[in-house]
Amino acid sequence: MNWNQLISMDQLTEIKIKSIEKPQLIFKHSTRCSISIMALNRFERGEAASNVDFYLLDLLSFRNISNEIADQFNVHHQSPQILLIHKGECIFDESHNAIAMDEVAEQVALLA
């Protein structure tokens, strides 16, 4: 899995712009939460959805970015949480044990 580290607010604008051409996925991860660690490991074991850029946010280090994600994409904050961004909007989000790579692949397939 090739993660892009989400470490600046400016990247949110880049994600929105890139999402016009290609879906973007944000994984909000808590490095001190066993559920988050389990969800990330399970997610990474899945076959990566094609034609998607993946961003990993350490929300303990970058809580301000996590809050901005909730505001910009109009989603309730969860941890762990994935958000699939397409054409500047969050079209799919899941949290905790519902996070699954196959679900992401299905959502991406619907966009084709």
- Tens digits of residue pLDDT in 7-34: 999 999 999 999 999 999 999 999 999 9
What domains can you pick out in the chain, each with its CATH number? Answer: 3-111 (3.40.30.10)
Q: What is the pTM of this model?
A: 0.96
Residue 27 in tokens: 């994984």
pLDDT in tens, 34-58: 999 999 999 999 999 889 999 999 9
Instruction: Give me the half-sphere count of Cα atoms (radius 13 Å) on the Cβ side of residue 69.
Output: 34
Half-sphere exposure of 17 (CA within 13 A, CB side): 5
Angle at 77 between CA 9 and CA 13, to 5 degrees: 25
Mean pLDDT of the chain: 96
Percent of the chain past pLDDT 90, that is, above it, reads: 93
What tokens were used for 76?
């309730």
> Residue 65: what pLDDT?
97
The answer to whether residues 6 and 62 touch, using CB atoms and an 8 Å cutoff, is: yes
